[in-house]
Amino acid sequence: MSGRISFLITCILVVCALSVVNAHYQFRRLFIELERAQAQARQLDIEWAQSQLDQSTLGKHSRIELNARRDLRMVSVSSASTQYLTTGDK
């Protein structure tokens, strides 16, 4: 009888040990996945901050005016070169 109990306890102990090993493996796998997700989140935060900075820089009125003058060769309108149109009364 004592041999059966020892065998049963040994089997239970082996099952518990395998369960602990499996739980530890799952923990490590999930931890690695969490670290990857956190690294991706940090990278996305950096890209978002850079986009915000780019948007702020590119959206400034002075930058738009500079690009219009330089690239499109636009000039400010003077009153001498302005033509006003009126509708004629019929």
**10 Å Cβ neighbour count for 3?**
7
Domain residue ranges of the chain, discontinuous segments joined by + = 22-70
> 75 CB contacts (<8 Å, ≥6 apart)?
69
Which residue, 27, 47, 51, is CA-closest to 39? Answer: 47
Tokens of 7: 């065998």
pLDDT in tens, 1-59: 788 999 999 999 999 999 999 999 999 999 999 999 999 999 999 999 999 998 888 77
pLDDT in tens, 59-78: 788 888 888 888 888 888 88
Tokens of 83: 């033509």
pLDDT of residue 14: 97
Tokens of 32: 């690695």
